[in-house]
Structure 1
Amino acid sequence: MAIPVIDIFAGPGGLGEGFSALSGGKKQRKFKIALSIEKDGEAHKTLMLRSFFRQFPAGEAPDDYYAFVRGEISIGQLYKNHPEQAETAREEAWQATLGEIPNAEVDRRIISALQGERNWLLIGGPPCQAYSVVGRSRRQETVLDASKDHRVELYKQYLRILAVHSPAVFVMENVKGILSAKTKESPIFSRILKDLSDPAEAFLEEEDFPDVELRCPGYKIYSLVNHPQSLELDGKRFYSHRDFIIYAEKHGIPQTRHRVILLGIRNDIAFTPDVLEQADQVPLQHVIQDLPRLRSGLSKEKDTYERWAKLIREIDINPAELPQNADVFDEIRKQLKKINPSEFGVGDNYIPWSHAACQYEKGWFHDPRLQGVLNHSSRGHMPSDLHRYFYAACFGKVRETSPKIIDFPKRLYPLHRNIEEAVTTKKFADRFRVQVAGQPSKTITSHISKDGHYYIHPDPEQCRSLTVREAARIQTFPDNYFFCGSRTAQFIQVGNAVPPLLANKIARLVLPAFEADPVTTVQESTALAEA
Structure 2
Amino acid sequence: MSRQFGIIDLFAGPGGLGEGFSAAGRETGTSMKIRLSIEKEATEVRTLRLRSFLRSFEDGFPPPYYTALNNGSGLPDWSTLYPVAWARAENEVRQLELGRPGVFEEIAAVLDRTREGHHGDTILIGGPPCQAYSLAGRSRNAGKAGYVPEEDKRHFLYREYVAILNRLRPAAFVMENVKGMISSKVGGGDIFQRVLEDLRNAGDGYTLVPLAASRESADIRARDFIVRADEHGVPQARHRVFVVGIRNDLAPPSGAAPLLKIAGEAERADVWSVIAAMPRLRSGLSRRGDDHESWQVIIHEHADRVIASTEVAADIRAAMGRLKGEGLATATQRSATRYVGPGAIQQAALDRWLLDPFLERILDHETRAHIPGDLGRYLYAALFAQERGKSPRLADFPSFLMPEHRNRDSGKFADRFRVQVGGRPSSTVTSHISKDGHYFIHPDPSQARSLTVREAARLQTFPDNYFFCGNRTQQYHQVGNAVPPFLALKIARVIREIIGGSS
The 8 Å contact of residues 169 and 263 in structure 1, kept in 2 or not, is answered as: yes
1:320-359 equivalences in 2 (<5 Å): 320-322=309-311, 325-337=313-325, 338-342=327-331, 345-347=333-335, 351-354=337-340, 357-359=343-345
Q: Which residue of 2 aligns with 1:276?
A: 260
Q: Distance in 2 between matches of 1:129 and 1:403?
A: 28
1:121 aligns with 2:123: yes
The 8 Å contact of residues 30 and 500 in structure 2, kept in 1 or not, is answered as: no
1:135 to 129, 134, 137: 137
Q: Secondary structure of 1:262's match?
A: strand
1:66-465 equivalences in 2 (<5 Å): 66-70=66-70, 72-100=72-100, 101-114=102-115, 115=117, 117=119, 119-140=121-142, 145=148, 148-184=151-187, 186-199=189-202, 216-230=203-217, 237-272=218-253, 275-279=259-263, 280=265, 281-315=268-302, 316-322=305-311, 325-337=313-325, 338-342=327-331, 345-347=333-335, 351-354=337-340, 357-359=343-345, 360=347, 361-422=350-411, 427-465=412-450
- State the AA in 1 paired with 2:41: D
Q: Secondary structure of 2:363's match?
A: strand
Identity fraction in percent: 45
Structure 2: which 5+ runs fail to align?
none
Q: Distance in 2 between matches of 1:183 and 1:461?
A: 48
Q: Distance in 1 between matches of 2:489 and 2:39?
A: 20
Closer, same or farther in 2 for the Cα pair 1:501/1:144, shift >3 Å?
Answer: farther
Q: Distance in 1 between matches of 2:279 and 2:485?
A: 23
The 8 Å contact of residues 150 and 187 in structure 2, kept in 1 or not, is answered as: no
Q: Distance in 1 between matches of 2:66 and 2:373?
A: 39
Q: Distance in 2 between matches of 1:40 and 1:172?
A: 19
TM-score, normalised to structure 1, is 0.87
User: Between Structure 1 and Structure 2, how many residues are aligned?
Assistant: 486
The 8 Å contact of residues 247 and 258 in structure 1, kept in 2 or not, is answered as: yes
Q: Which residue of 2 aligns with 1:204?
A: none
Closer, same or farther in 2 for the Cα pair 1:366/1:86, shift >3 Å?
Answer: same
- State the AA in 1 paired with 2:351: K
The 8 Å contact of residues 307 and 318 in structure 2, kept in 1 or not, is answered as: no
- State the AA in 1 paired with 2:132: A
- State the AA in 1 paired with 2:210: S
- Could you tell me how far 1:420 is from its partner in structure 2? 2.5
Q: Distance in 2 between matches of 1:112 and 1:465?
A: 46
Closer, same or farther in 2 for the Cα pair 1:122/1:335, shift >3 Å?
Answer: same
- Could you tell me how far 1:149 is from its partner in structure 2? 2.4
- Could you tell me how far 1:387 is from its partner in structure 2? 0.1
Q: Which residue of 2 aligns with 1:16?
A: 18
Structure 1: which 5+ runs fail to align?
200-215, 231-236, 520-531
Q: Secondary structure of 2:185's match?
A: coil
Q: Which string of whole-angstrom CA distances, capped at 9 and with x for unpartnered residues, describes residues 376-435 of structure 1?
A: 11111000000000000110111111011111111111111222333xxxx421111111
Q: Which string of whole-angstrom CA distances, capped at 9 and with x for unpartnered residues, describes residues 134-189 of structure 1?
A: 11112227998466422111101100000111000000000000011111162100
Q: Which residue of 2 aligns with 1:207?
A: none
- State the AA in 1 paired with 2:206: Y
Q: Which residue of 2 aligns with 1:506?
A: 491
Q: Which residue of 2 aligns with 1:39?
A: 40
Q: Distance in 2 between matches of 1:44 and 1:156?
A: 23
Q: Distance in 2 between matches of 1:277 and 1:328?
A: 40
- State the AA in 1 paired with 2:247: R
Q: What is the aligned-residue RMSD (CA, Å)?
A: 2.1
